[in-house]
Amino acid sequence: MEPIRIFAHRGFSAAAPENTMAAFRLAAEAGADGLELDVHLSKDREVVVIHDETVSRTTDGKGKVRELTLEELRRLDAGSRFGREFAGEKIPLLHEVLELAVQKNLWLNIELKNNKFPDPALEEKVLELTARFGLTRKVIFSSFNHYSLRRLKEKQPEVDTALLYMARLIEPWHYADRVGADSLHPYWPTVTEEVIRSCRERGLNLRPFTVNQAREMRRLIRLGVNGIITDKVSLLSELLGKTG
């Protein structure tokens, strides 16, 4: 069995502003095997890394990401709300994170934020960018928009697609088969021993989110998930014996 991989949720977001290059670099330094990040399209169709549909929560600006140009987005401060030492951090472009992943030999979990505003162009652009950097085999595409994941799989069958979900689904492994997905990314309280065992028997990858408590980390490690998505990279790294 492969080792359990640590995915830093929006980067090392417990130590730096989420979805910034600072958070991604700190995640690599803290022992993360991979980065979890969120992507949207700007008004001028560039792939940018930010979680929300608007910029108001994480930056000093206002407005919808899809209604702002790249130039307008890059003028915003995405770090000061977390701490003064991060003043001037920018909303990254996806290609900047891909460059870092190549340099640091990191896996990527790219979440397509296209559930509220579906846009097939986002799917096409992320496939093209990851292929350009030679990362197709080290990227997991996830989304709450499962139609989008099915289209990704149809366009590029070798990619790993992961179904994000919050509910306590009945036999979610059967649903994954219907969609044609390779992985499940469930909200961690929904993950039972039966779910883990059944996924393992069917060759489905299971990577719960967002796991920040040591007790729950230990349970999932013991039961043998494939990866854990967390804000607390250092804590999980310590529990897995990847530090020191």
The secondary structure of the chain in percent helix, strand, coil, rounded to multiples of 5, reads 40, 20, 40
Q: What is the model's pLDDT at position 187? A: 98
Q: What is the pTM of this model?
A: 0.97
If DSSP codes are grouped into helix, strand and coil, which group holds residue 225?
coil
Q: What is the model's pLDDT at position 1? A: 57
Report the C-alpha gap between 82 and 58 in whole angstroms. Answer: 8
For domain 5-239, is the CATH number 3.20.20.190? yes
Question: Which DSSP state fits 16?
Answer: S
Q: What is the model's pLDDT at position 240? A: 96
Q: What is the model's pLDDT at position 2? A: 75
Report the C-alpha gap between 211 and 229 in whole angstroms. Answer: 6
Residues that are catalytic: 9, 51
Q: What is the model's pLDDT at position 243? A: 61
**Tokens encoding 82:** 């977390």
Residue ranges of the domains in the chain?
5-239
List per-residue pLDDT tens for the chain, 244 residues long.
578 999 999 999 999 999 999 999 999 999 999 999 999 999 999 999 999 999 999 999 999 999 999 999 999 999 999 999 999 999 999 999 999 999 999 999 999 999 999 999 999 999 999 999 999 999 999 999 999 999 999 999 999 999 999 999 999 999 999 999 999 999 999 999 999 999 999 999 999 999 999 999 999 999 999 999 999 999 999 999 976 4
Long-range contacts: 159-166, Cβ < 8 Å, 24+? 159/127, 160/205, 162/109, 162/205, 162/207, 164/111, 164/209, 165/190, 166/190
Exposure b/e, 58-78, CB count within 10 A at least 16 = b: bbebebebbebebebbbebbb
Report the C-alpha gap between 38 and 165 in whole angstroms. Answer: 15
φ, ψ of residue 181 to 5 degrees: the values are: -90, 155
Phi-psi region of 34 (alpha: psi -120 to 50; beta: other; left: phi over 0): beta
**Alpha carbon distances (Å) from 37 to 7, 52, 161:** 10, 11, 14
Report the C-alpha gap between 90 and 61 in whole angstroms. Answer: 12
Report the C-alpha gap between 217 and 31 in whole angstroms. Answer: 15
Instruction: Judge whether 206 and 186 are in contact, CB under 8 Å.
Output: yes
Report the C-alpha gap between 47 and 237 in whole angstroms. Answer: 30
**Alpha carbon distances (Å) from 45 to 41, 53, 100, 104, 201:** 5, 14, 22, 27, 41
φ, ψ of residue 112 to 5 degrees: the values are: -85, 115
Report the C-alpha gap between 150 and 147 in whole angstroms. Answer: 5
